[in-house]
Amino acid sequence: MPVDISLNVNGKAVSAQVEDRTLLVELLRENLRLTGTHVGCDTSQCGACVVHVDGRSVKACTMLARQAQGAAVTTIEGLAEDGKLHPMQEAFRENHGLQCGFCTPGMVMSALDLVARNPDPSGAEVREWLEGNLCRCTGYHNIVKSILAGANAMRGGS
């Protein structure tokens, strides 16, 4: 039987009707129509569905929607401000950090959690951090380059 839940998504209070077994990613994509969060493997491995819940990057395919009751969720749609890409998104565009683009939302959300913990990561630290994000185009080199450039821009660098 569907129940009402309320949470904050990308800075806005939202409520939705979900089943007890509805996943967070299903709530985001199907109820809220925020389809930037992708479902890749659906088995907690690929990281295409990474979003932030109360500031922590998690796999939205491995969390029940009801676990997010009252939480603050940020998705890829919540990053750009006034039509201007977030510096990390801009860095992916500038550095050809995407090929097919399917893994990109998860890569960007994961990268932002890294930069929040470690504003000036090394290339090796970025690669280690991306353990839970798979790019089947194997475009990792430019993804790492993008994240380093994004981190630099977020520190105020040029």
Partner 1 sequence: MYAFNYHRPETLEAASAALAAAADGQVLAGGQTLIPTLKQRLANPSDVIDLGGIAGLGGVRREGDAIVVGAMTRHAEVASSAEVRNAIPALAALADCIGDPQVRNAGTIGGSIANADPAADYPAAVVGLGATVRTGRRTIAGDDFFTGLFETALEEGEIVLSVSFPVPRRAAYAKFPNPASRYAVVGVMVAETASGVRVAVTGAGGHAFRVGAMESALGASFTPEAIRDVAVSPDGLNEDIHASAEYRAHLVGVMARRAVAAAAGG
Provide the binding-site residues for partner 1, judged by CB under 8 A. 19-21, 23, 42-45, 47, 50, 56-59, 62-64, 66-67, 69, 110, 113-114, 117, 129, 131-133
What count of other Cβ atoms lies within 10 Å of the Cβ of residue 12?
9
Please give the radius of gyration of the chain, using alpha carbons only, rounded to the nearest integer.
15
Beta-carbon contacts of residue 18 (< 8 Å; ≥ 6 apart): 2, 3, 5, 26, 27, 31, 65, 66
Residue with Cβ nearer partner 1 (43 or 158):
43
Q: Is 130 exposed, middle or buried (0-12, 13-18, 19+ CB in 10 A)?
A: buried
CB of 144 to partner 1, least distance (A): 15
Q: CB-wise, 3 or 96, nearer to partner 1?
A: 3
Taking the least distance from each CB to partner 1, the nearer of 56 and 156 is: 56
Output the smallest distance, CB 62 to partner 1, in A. 5
Q: Which is nearer to partner 1, 80 or 118 (CB)?
A: 118
Strand 12-18 and strand 56-59: the pairing is: unpaired
Cα gap 84→78, rounded to integer Å: 11
Q: How far is the CB of 19 from partner 1 (least distance, A)?
A: 7
In the complex, least distance from residue 98 CB atom to partner 1, rounded to whole angstroms:
20
